[in-house]
Structure 1
Amino acid sequence: MKRILFPTDFSDVANNAFVHALELAKTLKGELIVLHSFELPVVDNQFFPENYMVIYESLELAQFDMFKDEIPKLRSIAEERQLDKIKMTHRLMDGDLTFNIKKAIKEDRIDFVVMGTSGASGWQSFFMGTNSGNVITDITVPMLCVPQDVPFRKAETIGFTTRFRAKDKKALKSVLKIAHKMNAQIKCLYVKTNESDVDNATVKEWEKEFEKEPITFYVTISNDVKDTILDFILQKDIDILTMLTYKRGFFESIFHPSLTKKIATEYATLVLAIPIE
Protein backbone atom coordinates (compact mmCIF):
# COMPACT_ATOMS: atom_id res chain seq x y z
CA MET A 1 0.00 0.00 0.00
CA LYS A 2 1.41 3.39 -1.04
CA ARG A 3 1.80 5.98 1.70
CA ILE A 4 1.11 9.61 0.81
CA LEU A 5 2.23 12.52 2.97
CA PHE A 6 -0.07 15.54 2.92
CA PRO A 7 1.42 18.60 4.71
CA THR A 8 -1.25 21.19 5.48
CA ASP A 9 -1.74 24.57 7.10
CA PHE A 10 -5.54 24.08 6.81
CA SER A 11 -5.84 27.00 4.35
CA ASP A 12 -8.17 26.90 1.33
CA VAL A 13 -5.15 26.20 -0.88
CA ALA A 14 -4.19 23.24 1.29
CA ASN A 15 -7.77 21.93 1.42
CA ASN A 16 -7.90 21.99 -2.37
CA ALA A 17 -4.65 20.00 -2.50
CA PHE A 18 -6.19 17.59 0.03
CA VAL A 19 -8.78 16.57 -2.56
CA HIS A 20 -5.98 15.75 -4.99
CA ALA A 21 -4.22 13.76 -2.25
CA LEU A 22 -7.40 11.78 -1.59
CA GLU A 23 -7.88 11.02 -5.27
CA LEU A 24 -4.26 9.93 -5.63
CA ALA A 25 -4.68 7.65 -2.62
CA LYS A 26 -7.77 6.18 -4.25
CA THR A 27 -5.94 5.60 -7.54
CA LEU A 28 -2.90 4.03 -5.89
CA LYS A 29 -4.93 2.19 -3.25
CA GLY A 30 -2.90 4.03 -0.66
CA GLU A 31 -3.26 5.82 2.66
CA LEU A 32 -2.75 9.42 3.78
CA ILE A 33 -0.56 10.78 6.52
CA VAL A 34 -1.73 14.31 7.32
CA LEU A 35 1.07 16.54 8.64
CA HIS A 36 0.67 19.90 10.32
CA SER A 37 3.98 21.56 11.10
CA PHE A 38 4.31 24.70 13.20
CA GLU A 39 7.18 26.79 14.49
CA LEU A 40 7.04 28.33 17.95
CA PRO A 41 8.37 31.91 18.10
CA VAL A 42 11.79 32.59 19.55
CA VAL A 43 11.30 34.11 23.00
CA ASP A 44 14.15 35.59 24.99
CA ASN A 45 13.66 34.09 28.44
CA GLN A 46 15.56 36.90 30.14
CA PHE A 47 12.45 39.05 29.65
CA PHE A 48 10.06 36.32 30.75
CA PRO A 49 12.04 34.28 33.30
CA GLU A 50 9.00 33.10 35.25
CA ASN A 51 6.50 32.64 32.43
CA TYR A 52 8.88 31.23 29.83
CA MET A 53 7.55 27.67 29.89
CA VAL A 54 3.98 28.80 30.38
CA ILE A 55 4.16 30.82 27.16
CA TYR A 56 5.47 27.86 25.17
CA GLU A 57 3.01 25.42 26.67
CA SER A 58 0.08 27.72 25.87
CA LEU A 59 1.27 28.16 22.28
CA GLU A 60 1.67 24.40 21.85
CA LEU A 61 -1.79 23.83 23.32
CA ALA A 62 -3.29 26.39 20.91
CA GLN A 63 -1.73 24.54 17.96
CA PHE A 64 -3.05 21.23 19.26
CA ASP A 65 -6.56 22.66 19.68
CA MET A 66 -6.52 24.03 16.12
CA PHE A 67 -5.26 20.70 14.81
CA LYS A 68 -8.01 18.89 16.70
CA ASP A 69 -10.65 21.27 15.31
CA GLU A 70 -9.48 21.14 11.71
CA ILE A 71 -9.15 17.36 11.28
CA PRO A 72 -12.96 16.79 11.29
CA LYS A 73 -13.21 19.33 8.46
CA LEU A 74 -10.83 17.23 6.37
CA ARG A 75 -12.88 14.15 7.10
CA SER A 76 -16.00 16.03 5.95
CA ILE A 77 -14.27 16.83 2.65
CA ALA A 78 -13.47 13.13 2.26
CA GLU A 79 -17.07 12.16 3.01
CA GLU A 80 -18.42 14.66 0.47
CA ARG A 81 -16.35 12.97 -2.24
CA GLN A 82 -17.18 9.48 -0.94
CA LEU A 83 -13.53 8.93 -0.14
CA ASP A 84 -13.92 8.59 3.62
CA LYS A 85 -12.89 4.93 3.49
CA ILE A 86 -9.32 5.94 2.71
CA LYS A 87 -7.12 5.37 5.74
CA MET A 88 -5.83 8.58 7.33
CA THR A 89 -3.39 9.12 10.17
CA HIS A 90 -2.19 12.44 11.56
CA ARG A 91 1.06 14.05 12.70
CA LEU A 92 1.51 17.34 14.58
CA MET A 93 5.15 18.42 14.55
CA ASP A 94 6.98 21.43 15.97
CA GLY A 95 9.86 22.85 13.98
CA ASP A 96 10.97 23.77 10.49
CA LEU A 97 8.51 22.68 7.80
CA THR A 98 11.08 21.29 5.39
CA PHE A 99 12.92 19.41 8.13
CA ASN A 100 9.66 17.90 9.37
CA ILE A 101 8.61 16.83 5.89
CA LYS A 102 11.92 15.04 5.40
CA LYS A 103 11.67 13.48 8.85
CA ALA A 104 8.12 12.25 8.19
CA ILE A 105 9.17 10.82 4.82
CA LYS A 106 11.82 8.73 6.54
CA GLU A 107 9.88 7.69 9.66
CA ASP A 108 6.58 6.94 7.90
CA ARG A 109 8.17 5.36 4.81
CA ILE A 110 6.42 7.81 2.50
CA ASP A 111 6.07 7.10 -1.23
CA PHE A 112 4.56 10.42 -2.38
CA VAL A 113 4.07 13.96 -1.09
CA VAL A 114 1.07 16.07 -2.16
CA MET A 115 1.08 19.78 -1.40
CA GLY A 116 -0.47 23.08 -2.45
CA THR A 117 1.98 25.46 -4.13
CA SER A 118 0.84 28.84 -2.81
CA GLY A 119 -1.24 30.34 -0.05
CA ALA A 120 -1.10 31.88 3.38
CA SER A 121 1.04 31.24 6.42
CA GLY A 122 4.36 31.15 4.65
CA TRP A 123 3.55 28.42 2.14
CA GLN A 124 4.07 30.74 -0.81
CA SER A 125 7.59 31.58 0.31
CA PHE A 126 8.25 27.86 0.86
CA PHE A 127 7.62 27.07 -2.80
CA MET A 128 8.55 30.34 -4.45
CA GLY A 129 11.42 31.61 -2.33
CA THR A 130 15.09 31.41 -3.20
CA ASN A 131 15.42 27.97 -1.55
CA SER A 132 12.45 26.37 -3.30
CA GLY A 133 14.51 24.34 -5.73
CA ASN A 134 16.82 23.14 -2.97
CA VAL A 135 13.86 22.04 -0.83
CA ILE A 136 12.21 20.02 -3.56
CA THR A 137 15.40 18.42 -4.82
CA ASP A 138 16.27 17.41 -1.25
CA ILE A 139 13.08 15.39 -0.97
CA THR A 140 13.70 11.74 -1.77
CA VAL A 141 10.22 10.86 -3.05
CA PRO A 142 7.99 12.23 -5.84
CA MET A 143 6.03 15.36 -4.94
CA LEU A 144 2.73 16.35 -6.56
CA CYS A 145 2.52 20.16 -6.53
CA VAL A 146 -1.06 21.44 -6.73
CA PRO A 147 -1.41 25.05 -7.95
CA GLN A 148 -3.84 27.33 -6.17
CA ASP A 149 -7.50 27.09 -7.21
CA VAL A 150 -6.97 24.14 -9.56
CA PRO A 151 -9.84 21.71 -8.89
CA PHE A 152 -9.39 17.99 -9.21
CA ARG A 153 -10.19 16.43 -12.54
CA LYS A 154 -9.38 13.01 -13.88
CA ALA A 155 -5.96 13.05 -15.51
CA GLU A 156 -6.08 11.89 -19.11
CA THR A 157 -2.68 13.11 -20.28
CA ILE A 158 0.60 13.14 -18.36
CA GLY A 159 3.46 15.22 -19.71
CA PHE A 160 7.02 14.01 -19.21
CA THR A 161 10.08 16.18 -19.86
CA THR A 162 13.19 14.21 -20.71
CA ARG A 163 16.79 14.45 -21.85
CA PHE A 164 16.86 10.76 -22.87
CA ARG A 165 19.20 9.76 -20.06
CA ALA A 166 19.19 6.32 -18.45
CA LYS A 167 17.85 7.78 -15.19
CA ASP A 168 15.07 9.46 -17.16
CA LYS A 169 14.01 6.08 -18.48
CA LYS A 170 13.76 4.68 -14.95
CA ALA A 171 11.56 7.62 -13.96
CA LEU A 172 9.43 7.20 -17.08
CA LYS A 173 8.75 3.59 -16.17
CA SER A 174 7.60 4.73 -12.72
CA VAL A 175 5.27 7.31 -14.26
CA LEU A 176 4.00 4.66 -16.67
CA LYS A 177 2.81 2.56 -13.73
CA ILE A 178 0.80 5.55 -12.48
CA ALA A 179 -0.53 6.22 -15.98
CA HIS A 180 -1.80 2.63 -16.22
CA LYS A 181 -3.69 3.05 -12.96
CA MET A 182 -5.17 6.34 -14.16
CA ASN A 183 -5.85 4.98 -17.65
CA ALA A 184 -3.94 7.99 -18.94
CA GLN A 185 -1.54 8.51 -21.83
CA ILE A 186 1.96 9.96 -21.58
CA LYS A 187 3.38 12.59 -23.90
CA CYS A 188 7.16 12.95 -23.65
CA LEU A 189 8.86 16.20 -24.60
CA TYR A 190 12.50 16.67 -25.45
CA VAL A 191 13.57 20.27 -26.09
CA LYS A 192 16.53 20.13 -28.45
CA THR A 193 18.76 23.17 -27.96
CA ASN A 194 22.03 24.15 -29.62
CA GLU A 195 23.82 22.38 -26.76
CA SER A 196 21.83 19.13 -27.00
CA ASP A 197 23.79 15.90 -27.34
CA VAL A 198 20.99 13.43 -28.11
CA ASP A 199 21.00 11.91 -31.58
CA ASN A 200 18.06 10.58 -33.58
CA ALA A 201 19.13 6.98 -32.97
CA THR A 202 18.61 7.37 -29.24
CA VAL A 203 15.13 8.77 -29.75
CA LYS A 204 14.30 5.86 -32.06
CA GLU A 205 15.55 3.36 -29.47
CA TRP A 206 13.22 4.81 -26.84
CA GLU A 207 10.29 4.83 -29.25
CA LYS A 208 10.96 1.18 -30.08
CA GLU A 209 11.20 0.14 -26.43
CA PHE A 210 7.92 1.81 -25.49
CA GLU A 211 6.02 1.25 -28.74
CA LYS A 212 3.39 -0.95 -27.04
CA GLU A 213 2.77 1.56 -24.26
CA PRO A 214 0.50 4.65 -24.31
CA ILE A 215 3.51 6.93 -24.84
CA THR A 216 4.17 9.45 -27.60
CA PHE A 217 7.52 11.20 -28.03
CA TYR A 218 7.91 14.79 -29.22
CA VAL A 219 11.18 16.50 -30.13
CA THR A 220 11.04 20.30 -30.38
CA ILE A 221 13.97 22.40 -31.56
CA SER A 222 14.26 25.51 -29.41
CA ASN A 223 16.68 27.35 -27.16
CA ASP A 224 13.83 28.67 -25.03
CA VAL A 225 13.21 25.61 -22.87
CA LYS A 226 10.76 27.17 -20.41
CA ASP A 227 8.40 28.68 -22.98
CA THR A 228 8.55 25.51 -25.05
CA ILE A 229 7.38 23.49 -22.07
CA LEU A 230 4.57 25.94 -21.36
CA ASP A 231 3.45 25.80 -25.00
CA PHE A 232 3.59 22.01 -24.84
CA ILE A 233 1.28 22.01 -21.80
CA LEU A 234 -1.31 24.03 -23.69
CA GLN A 235 -1.05 22.39 -27.10
CA LYS A 236 -1.08 18.81 -25.82
CA ASP A 237 -3.73 19.32 -23.08
CA ILE A 238 -1.37 18.19 -20.32
CA ASP A 239 -3.10 17.49 -16.99
CA ILE A 240 0.01 16.58 -14.99
CA LEU A 241 3.49 17.74 -15.96
CA THR A 242 6.26 15.45 -14.76
CA MET A 243 9.60 17.11 -14.17
CA LEU A 244 12.81 15.43 -13.08
CA THR A 245 14.82 17.29 -10.45
CA TYR A 246 18.26 16.33 -11.65
CA LYS A 247 18.99 19.90 -12.72
CA ARG A 248 18.54 22.16 -9.73
CA GLY A 249 18.78 25.54 -11.46
CA PHE A 250 16.29 24.61 -14.17
CA PHE A 251 13.71 23.41 -11.67
CA GLU A 252 14.06 26.62 -9.67
CA SER A 253 13.43 28.68 -12.79
CA ILE A 254 10.28 26.71 -13.58
CA PHE A 255 8.95 27.56 -10.11
CA HIS A 256 9.61 31.27 -10.44
CA PRO A 257 6.46 33.04 -9.17
CA SER A 258 5.40 34.41 -12.57
CA LEU A 259 5.69 31.01 -14.25
CA THR A 260 3.93 29.20 -11.42
CA LYS A 261 1.09 31.71 -11.63
CA LYS A 262 0.94 31.27 -15.40
CA ILE A 263 0.74 27.49 -15.10
CA ALA A 264 -1.92 27.69 -12.38
CA THR A 265 -4.16 30.29 -14.04
CA GLU A 266 -3.72 29.69 -17.76
CA TYR A 267 -2.73 26.03 -17.88
CA ALA A 268 -4.29 24.60 -14.71
CA THR A 269 -1.61 21.94 -14.61
CA LEU A 270 -0.29 19.90 -11.73
CA VAL A 271 3.46 19.32 -11.48
CA LEU A 272 4.86 15.97 -10.40
CA ALA A 273 8.48 16.47 -9.32
CA ILE A 274 10.49 13.26 -9.35
CA PRO A 275 13.94 13.26 -7.69
CA ILE A 276 16.75 11.61 -9.60
CA GLU A 277 19.33 9.87 -7.43
Structure 2
Amino acid sequence: MKRILFPTDFSDVATNAFVHALEFAKQVKGELILLHTFEIPVYDSQVFPENFAIIYNSLELAKFEMFKDEIPKLRQIAAARKLDDIVINHRLMDGDLVYNMKKAIKEDKIDFVVMGTSGIAGWNAFFLGTNTDAVISGVEVPILCVPVESKFNKVKTIGFTTRYREKDKKELRKVLTIAKKMNAQIKCLYVKTQNSDVTDATIKEWENEFKEEQVQFLVLPCEEVKETILDFVLYKDIDILAMIAYKRSFFESLFSPSFTKKLTKDIAIPVLIMHEQ
Protein backbone atom coordinates (compact mmCIF):
# COMPACT_ATOMS: atom_id res chain seq x y z
CA MET A 1 0.00 0.00 0.00
CA LYS A 2 1.32 3.44 -0.95
CA ARG A 3 1.80 5.97 1.82
CA ILE A 4 0.80 9.57 1.10
CA LEU A 5 1.86 12.45 3.33
CA PHE A 6 -0.65 15.30 3.53
CA PRO A 7 0.64 18.41 5.37
CA THR A 8 -2.29 20.50 6.60
CA ASP A 9 -2.92 23.64 8.60
CA PHE A 10 -6.69 23.03 8.37
CA SER A 11 -7.15 26.13 6.21
CA ASP A 12 -9.49 26.33 3.20
CA VAL A 13 -6.43 25.81 0.99
CA ALA A 14 -5.56 22.57 2.78
CA THR A 15 -9.17 21.38 2.91
CA ASN A 16 -9.48 21.77 -0.86
CA ALA A 17 -6.25 19.82 -1.34
CA PHE A 18 -7.52 17.14 1.04
CA VAL A 19 -10.18 16.17 -1.49
CA HIS A 20 -7.44 15.69 -4.10
CA ALA A 21 -5.41 13.68 -1.57
CA LEU A 22 -8.39 11.41 -0.86
CA GLU A 23 -9.06 10.80 -4.53
CA PHE A 24 -5.36 10.24 -5.21
CA ALA A 25 -5.20 7.72 -2.36
CA LYS A 26 -8.18 5.91 -3.84
CA GLN A 27 -6.51 5.67 -7.26
CA VAL A 28 -3.13 4.42 -6.03
CA LYS A 29 -4.69 2.29 -3.27
CA GLY A 30 -2.84 4.23 -0.62
CA GLU A 31 -3.21 5.47 2.93
CA LEU A 32 -2.97 9.07 4.13
CA ILE A 33 -0.73 10.37 6.87
CA LEU A 34 -1.98 13.79 7.94
CA LEU A 35 0.84 16.03 9.16
CA HIS A 36 0.13 19.15 11.17
CA THR A 37 3.11 21.17 12.37
CA PHE A 38 3.25 24.12 14.73
CA GLU A 39 6.00 26.29 16.10
CA ILE A 40 5.89 27.36 19.73
CA PRO A 41 7.21 30.90 20.28
CA VAL A 42 10.59 31.17 22.00
CA TYR A 43 10.37 32.64 25.47
CA ASP A 44 13.20 33.69 27.72
CA SER A 45 13.17 31.40 30.76
CA GLN A 46 14.93 34.09 32.78
CA VAL A 47 12.01 36.45 32.24
CA PHE A 48 9.38 33.83 33.13
CA PRO A 49 11.28 31.48 35.44
CA GLU A 50 8.21 30.26 37.36
CA ASN A 51 5.72 30.08 34.51
CA PHE A 52 8.09 28.86 31.80
CA ALA A 53 6.90 25.23 31.77
CA ILE A 54 3.26 26.22 32.20
CA ILE A 55 3.39 28.50 29.15
CA TYR A 56 4.81 25.78 26.93
CA ASN A 57 2.46 23.11 28.24
CA SER A 58 -0.59 25.29 27.68
CA LEU A 59 0.48 26.14 24.12
CA GLU A 60 1.08 22.49 23.29
CA LEU A 61 -2.28 21.54 24.78
CA ALA A 62 -4.06 24.24 22.75
CA LYS A 63 -2.48 22.94 19.54
CA PHE A 64 -3.46 19.39 20.42
CA GLU A 65 -7.06 20.39 21.16
CA MET A 66 -7.33 22.23 17.85
CA PHE A 67 -5.84 19.24 16.03
CA LYS A 68 -8.29 16.90 17.78
CA ASP A 69 -11.25 19.12 16.85
CA GLU A 70 -10.30 19.44 13.17
CA ILE A 71 -9.71 15.75 12.40
CA PRO A 72 -13.42 14.76 12.57
CA LYS A 73 -14.20 17.49 9.99
CA LEU A 74 -11.80 15.88 7.53
CA ARG A 75 -13.30 12.47 8.18
CA GLN A 76 -16.73 13.93 7.41
CA ILE A 77 -15.40 15.10 4.04
CA ALA A 78 -14.13 11.58 3.35
CA ALA A 79 -17.49 10.07 4.33
CA ALA A 80 -19.40 12.53 2.13
CA ARG A 81 -17.33 11.40 -0.87
CA LYS A 82 -17.76 7.74 0.12
CA LEU A 83 -14.03 7.49 0.73
CA ASP A 84 -14.17 6.84 4.46
CA ASP A 85 -12.63 3.39 3.91
CA ILE A 86 -9.27 5.04 3.17
CA VAL A 87 -6.87 4.57 6.05
CA ILE A 88 -5.98 7.91 7.66
CA ASN A 89 -3.27 8.28 10.29
CA HIS A 90 -2.01 11.44 11.96
CA ARG A 91 1.18 13.20 13.00
CA LEU A 92 1.28 16.33 15.17
CA MET A 93 4.81 17.75 15.23
CA ASP A 94 6.42 20.83 16.74
CA GLY A 95 8.90 22.69 14.58
CA ASP A 96 9.63 23.78 11.02
CA LEU A 97 7.35 22.39 8.30
CA VAL A 98 10.13 21.48 5.85
CA TYR A 99 12.19 19.76 8.54
CA ASN A 100 9.16 17.82 9.79
CA MET A 101 8.13 16.85 6.26
CA LYS A 102 11.55 15.35 5.66
CA LYS A 103 11.47 13.57 8.99
CA ALA A 104 8.00 12.15 8.38
CA ILE A 105 8.91 11.05 4.84
CA LYS A 106 11.88 9.12 6.18
CA GLU A 107 10.25 7.65 9.29
CA ASP A 108 6.92 6.75 7.68
CA LYS A 109 8.46 5.58 4.37
CA ILE A 110 6.34 8.02 2.37
CA ASP A 111 5.80 7.44 -1.36
CA PHE A 112 4.00 10.70 -2.27
CA VAL A 113 3.24 14.13 -0.84
CA VAL A 114 -0.01 16.01 -1.58
CA MET A 115 -0.24 19.62 -0.40
CA GLY A 116 -2.22 22.77 -1.10
CA THR A 117 -0.87 26.10 -2.33
CA SER A 118 -2.65 29.43 -1.94
CA GLY A 119 -2.71 31.07 -5.34
CA ILE A 120 0.20 33.14 -6.60
CA ALA A 121 1.62 33.81 -3.14
CA GLY A 122 1.48 30.12 -2.34
CA TRP A 123 3.26 29.06 -5.50
CA ASN A 124 5.98 31.66 -5.01
CA ALA A 125 6.44 30.73 -1.37
CA PHE A 126 6.69 27.04 -2.22
CA PHE A 127 8.95 27.29 -5.26
CA LEU A 128 10.90 30.48 -4.61
CA GLY A 129 10.93 30.93 -0.82
CA THR A 130 13.89 30.36 1.44
CA ASN A 131 12.59 26.93 2.43
CA THR A 132 11.83 25.94 -1.14
CA ASP A 133 15.31 25.02 -2.22
CA ALA A 134 15.47 22.68 0.76
CA VAL A 135 12.18 21.07 -0.25
CA ILE A 136 13.20 20.56 -3.87
CA SER A 137 16.67 19.29 -3.03
CA GLY A 138 15.80 17.39 0.12
CA VAL A 139 12.51 15.64 -0.72
CA GLU A 140 12.95 12.80 -3.19
CA VAL A 141 9.33 11.64 -3.45
CA PRO A 142 6.83 13.10 -5.95
CA ILE A 143 4.88 16.12 -4.65
CA LEU A 144 1.38 16.91 -5.94
CA CYS A 145 0.83 20.66 -5.45
CA VAL A 146 -2.84 21.69 -5.54
CA PRO A 147 -3.73 25.37 -6.07
CA VAL A 148 -6.69 26.55 -4.01
CA GLU A 149 -8.53 27.35 -7.25
CA SER A 150 -8.25 23.75 -8.44
CA LYS A 151 -11.41 21.73 -7.87
CA PHE A 152 -11.14 17.98 -8.22
CA ASN A 153 -12.08 16.45 -11.55
CA LYS A 154 -11.48 12.95 -12.81
CA VAL A 155 -7.97 12.79 -14.24
CA LYS A 156 -8.04 11.78 -17.90
CA THR A 157 -4.82 13.33 -19.21
CA ILE A 158 -1.48 13.94 -17.49
CA GLY A 159 0.94 16.33 -19.16
CA PHE A 160 4.66 15.66 -18.81
CA THR A 161 7.35 18.13 -19.80
CA THR A 162 10.64 16.61 -20.89
CA ARG A 163 14.04 17.45 -22.32
CA TYR A 164 14.55 13.88 -23.58
CA ARG A 165 17.29 13.06 -21.11
CA GLU A 166 17.79 9.49 -19.90
CA LYS A 167 16.89 10.52 -16.34
CA ASP A 168 13.65 12.01 -17.71
CA LYS A 169 12.74 8.58 -19.05
CA LYS A 170 12.95 7.11 -15.56
CA GLU A 171 10.59 9.76 -14.18
CA LEU A 172 8.21 9.29 -17.12
CA ARG A 173 7.89 5.63 -16.20
CA LYS A 174 6.94 6.62 -12.65
CA VAL A 175 4.28 9.00 -13.98
CA LEU A 176 3.09 6.26 -16.32
CA THR A 177 2.57 3.95 -13.34
CA ILE A 178 0.37 6.61 -11.72
CA ALA A 179 -1.48 7.23 -14.99
CA LYS A 180 -2.33 3.54 -15.36
CA LYS A 181 -3.89 3.49 -11.90
CA MET A 182 -6.00 6.50 -12.89
CA ASN A 183 -6.82 5.03 -16.32
CA ALA A 184 -5.35 8.21 -17.79
CA GLN A 185 -3.18 8.92 -20.81
CA ILE A 186 0.06 10.91 -20.88
CA LYS A 187 0.94 13.68 -23.30
CA CYS A 188 4.66 14.54 -23.32
CA LEU A 189 5.76 18.00 -24.34
CA TYR A 190 9.16 19.09 -25.58
CA VAL A 191 9.57 22.76 -26.46
CA LYS A 192 12.23 22.86 -29.14
CA THR A 193 14.17 26.13 -29.19
CA GLN A 194 16.99 27.22 -31.49
CA ASN A 195 19.46 26.05 -28.86
CA SER A 196 17.97 22.55 -28.71
CA ASP A 197 20.49 19.69 -28.74
CA VAL A 198 17.91 16.89 -28.91
CA THR A 199 18.17 14.89 -32.12
CA ASP A 200 15.31 13.47 -34.16
CA ALA A 201 16.83 10.03 -33.57
CA THR A 202 16.45 10.46 -29.79
CA ILE A 203 12.82 11.50 -30.14
CA LYS A 204 12.13 8.51 -32.39
CA GLU A 205 13.82 6.21 -29.88
CA TRP A 206 11.48 7.40 -27.13
CA GLU A 207 8.43 7.01 -29.36
CA ASN A 208 9.42 3.41 -30.16
CA GLU A 209 10.15 2.55 -26.54
CA PHE A 210 6.73 3.76 -25.35
CA LYS A 211 4.69 2.81 -28.43
CA GLU A 212 2.73 0.15 -26.50
CA GLU A 213 1.78 2.63 -23.77
CA GLN A 214 -0.83 5.37 -23.57
CA VAL A 215 1.81 8.02 -24.22
CA GLN A 216 1.73 10.70 -26.91
CA PHE A 217 4.78 12.81 -27.76
CA LEU A 218 4.52 16.41 -28.93
CA VAL A 219 7.47 18.48 -30.14
CA LEU A 220 6.59 22.16 -30.46
CA PRO A 221 9.19 24.53 -31.98
CA CYS A 222 9.07 27.84 -30.10
CA GLU A 223 11.38 30.23 -28.28
CA GLU A 224 8.74 31.09 -25.65
CA VAL A 225 8.96 28.02 -23.41
CA LYS A 226 6.64 29.13 -20.60
CA GLU A 227 3.91 30.36 -22.92
CA THR A 228 4.09 27.13 -24.89
CA ILE A 229 3.62 25.11 -21.70
CA LEU A 230 0.52 27.17 -20.88
CA ASP A 231 -0.91 26.62 -24.36
CA PHE A 232 -0.14 22.90 -24.03
CA VAL A 233 -2.05 22.68 -20.74
CA LEU A 234 -4.98 24.68 -22.09
CA TYR A 235 -5.45 23.25 -25.56
CA LYS A 236 -4.53 19.63 -24.81
CA ASP A 237 -6.98 19.40 -21.87
CA ILE A 238 -4.30 18.58 -19.31
CA ASP A 239 -5.67 17.65 -15.85
CA ILE A 240 -2.33 17.33 -14.03
CA LEU A 241 0.98 18.79 -15.19
CA ALA A 242 3.99 16.64 -14.27
CA MET A 243 7.36 18.37 -14.25
CA ILE A 244 10.84 17.33 -13.18
CA ALA A 245 12.52 19.53 -10.59
CA TYR A 246 15.49 20.77 -12.54
CA LYS A 247 17.82 23.43 -11.21
CA ARG A 248 16.36 26.05 -8.89
CA SER A 249 16.95 28.67 -11.59
CA PHE A 250 14.49 26.79 -13.80
CA PHE A 251 11.74 27.14 -11.19
CA GLU A 252 12.63 30.76 -10.51
CA SER A 253 11.99 31.42 -14.18
CA LEU A 254 9.01 29.14 -14.61
CA PHE A 255 7.08 30.12 -11.49
CA SER A 256 7.39 33.86 -11.87
CA PRO A 257 4.34 35.90 -10.76
CA SER A 258 3.17 36.47 -14.34
CA PHE A 259 3.30 32.77 -15.13
CA THR A 260 1.72 31.53 -11.91
CA LYS A 261 -1.10 34.05 -12.23
CA LYS A 262 -2.08 32.43 -15.52
CA LEU A 263 -1.49 28.93 -14.21
CA THR A 264 -3.57 29.29 -11.05
CA LYS A 265 -6.29 31.63 -12.33
CA ASP A 266 -6.79 30.72 -15.97
CA ILE A 267 -5.64 27.09 -15.80
CA ALA A 268 -6.16 25.87 -12.24
CA ILE A 269 -4.67 22.38 -12.27
CA PRO A 270 -2.43 20.48 -9.85
CA VAL A 271 1.28 20.24 -10.63
CA LEU A 272 3.10 16.99 -9.93
CA ILE A 273 6.75 17.65 -9.10
CA MET A 274 9.06 14.75 -9.87
CA HIS A 275 12.64 14.69 -8.62
CA GLU A 276 15.81 13.86 -10.46
CA GLN A 277 17.37 10.66 -9.16
**Does the pair score TM above 0.5?**
yes
2: CA distance, partners of 1:15 / 1:43: 32
**Local SS of the residue matching 1:109:** coil
Which residue is 1:185 aligned to? 185
Task: Give the whole-Å Cα distance in 1 for the aligned partners of 2:223 and 2:79.
Answer: 48
User: Are positions 1:215 and 2:184 aligned together?
Assistant: no
Match of 2:39 in 1: 39
Check 1:128–1:203 CA distance in 2 against 1; reply closer, same or farther (3 A cut).
closer
> Superposition pairs for residues 121-200 of structure 1, below 5 Å?
126-127=125-126, 129-131=128-130, 132-200=132-200
For structure 1, which segment, 240-249 or 153-162, has the greater mean C-alpha deviation from structure 2 after superposition? 240-249
Contact conserved, 2:161 with 2:188, CA < 8 A, in 1? yes
**C-alpha distance in 1, partners of 2:122/2:35?**
14
Aligned counterparts, 1:106-125, within 5 A: 106-118=106-118
2:67 paired with 1:63: no
* Cα deviation digits, residues 210-240 of structure 1 (max 9, x gap): 1121111111122222111111111111110
User: What SS does structure 1 have at the residue aligned with 2:40?
Assistant: coil
> Does the CA contact (< 8 Å) of 2:187 and 2:217 recur in 1?
yes
- Segment drifting more, 59-68 vs 206-215: 206-215
Aligned to 2:11: 11
Q: Give the CA deviation at 1:125.
A: 6.6
Give me the whole-angstrom Cα distance separating, in 2, the residues matched to 1:256 and 1:90: 34
One-letter amino acid of the structure 2 residue matched with residue 147 of structure 1: P
- Native 8 Å contact 1:13 1:116 kept in 2: yes
Structure 2: 5+ residue stretches without partners: none
Cα RMSD (Å):
1.6
Q: 1:250: which partner in 2?
A: 250
Q: TM-score normalized by structure 1?
A: 0.95
Unaligned runs of 5+ in 1: none
User: 1:91, CA displacement in angstroms?
Assistant: 0.2
Structure 2 CA distance for aligned equivalents of residues 133 and 270 of structure 1: 20
| Superposed displacement of residue 124, structure 1 | 6.6
CA distance in structure 2 between the partners assigned to 1:153 and 1:137 by the alignment: 30
In structure 2, the residue corresponding to 1:189 is in which secondary structure? strand
Determine the C-alpha separation between the residues in 1 that align with 2:12 and 2:127. Answer: 18
Aligned-partner SS, 2:102: helix
1:102 aligns with 102
Question: 1:58-95: per-residue Cα shift (whole Å, max 9, x none)?
Answer: 11111000000000000000000000000010000000
1:29 aligned onto 2:29: yes
Query: For the residues of structure 1 that align with 2:262 and 2:133, how far apart are their CA atoms?
Result: 18
Q: How has the CA–CA distance of structure 1 residues 267 and 62 changed in structure 2, closer, same or farther, with 3 Å as cutoff?
A: same
1:104-152 residue CA offsets vs partner (Å, 9 max, x unmatched): 0000000000000127xx9677415433344233211000000012111
Amino acid at match of 2:65: D
**Which residue of structure 1 aligns with residue 269 of structure 2?**
269
Alpha-carbon distance in structure 1 between the residues aligned to 2:128 and 2:205: 39
- Residues 125, 223 of structure 1: alpha-carbon distance in 2 compared, 3 angstrom cutoff: closer
**Are the counterparts in 2 of residues 162 and 188 from structure 1 also a CA contact under 8 Å?**
yes
Equivalent residue runs for 1:195-206 within 5 Å: 195-206=195-206
Query: Equivalents in 2 of 1:97, 1:138: separation in Å?
Result: 13
Partner SS state of residue 186, structure 2: strand
Q: Number of paired residues?
A: 275
Q: CA deviation at 1:171?
A: 0.6
Q: Secondary structure at the match of 1:269?
A: coil
